[in-house]
Each structure stands twice: as structure tokens, then as C-alpha cells.
């Protein structure tokens, strides 16, 4: 399912127009991104939680040349599915 299909499904199930559903989805994406940027954790009971973790700097290899390269430390987004979501998928 791509973003357009998701917006259409949201609009249908919430009885919204596609434009309203698109704005709601965009607002959700922006809110989650801003919170994660600030280091906050977002928990939606039953669905899951969004947070950031730190990845340490490490040495990697260029697969084309085999030469070692330094990969810098980074802050990465992380999603952990909640029990209700896990149970509905299984």
C-alpha cells in the first residue's frame, strides 16, 4: 500500500474527504518527526512507539574497492510495534 492508497483508505474508514485525510496524515508525520527530532518518545497504546536511538561510529568497507571507511555516529529513528498490532498481524 502506498501513501495515496493509505489516504484513500483512511478517508473511507473515517468518513472524511481525501484532502482531509491527507492533511491528517501529513500532520501526524510532521508531529512524529518533530517529537523524534527533539528526542521525545511517542507511545500509542496498542499500536506501538516511536523513538530515536544512537548508533555508534564504526569502521565499514566499501564493497567495490574493499577499502575501509569510517561511518560516523548517527541518531536513527526506531519503531516498536505494540501487542495489539502484533496480534492483529499474526
| 33 and 52 part of one domain | no
Cα–Cα distance, 90 to 85 (Å, whole number): 9
| 45 and 84 part of one domain | yes
| 57 and 85 part of one domain | yes
Indicate the number of domains in the chain. 2
| 51 and 30 part of one domain | no
Q: Supply the pLDDT for residue 14.
A: 94
Sign of the alpha-carbon torsion through 44, 49, 52, 53: positive
CATH number at residue 62: 4.10.520.10
pTM for the model? 0.79
| 27 and 47 part of one domain | no
Q: In terms of residue numbers, what domain contains 68?
A: 41-89
In tens, the pLDDT along 40-76 reads 999 999 999 999 999 999 999 999 999 999 999 999 9
| 30 and 49 part of one domain | no
Tell me phi and psi for residue 52, to 5 degrees.
Answer: -115, 150
| Mean of pLDDT values over 25-38 | 96
Q: Which grid cell sits at 45? A: 497504546
In tens, the pLDDT along 5-27 reads 999 999 999 999 999 999 999 99
Torsion of CA 90, 11, 37, 41, to 10 degrees: -40
Amino acid at each position: 500500500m502506498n501513501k495515496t492508497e493509505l489516504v484513500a483508505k483512511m478517508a473511507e474508514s473515517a468518513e472524511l474527504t481525501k484532502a482531509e485525510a491527507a492533511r491528517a496524515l501529513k500532520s501526524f508525520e510532521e508531529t512524529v518527526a518533530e517529537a523524534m527530532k527533539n528526542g521525545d518518545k511517542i507511545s500509542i497504546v496498542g499500536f506501538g512507539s516511536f523513538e530515536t536511538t544512537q548508533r555508534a561510529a564504526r569502521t565499514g568497507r566499501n564493497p567495490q574497492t574493499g577499502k575501509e571507511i569510517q561511518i560516523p555516529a548517527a541518531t536513527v529513528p526506531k519503531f516498536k510495534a505494540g501487542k495489539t498490532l502484533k496480534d492483529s498481524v499474526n
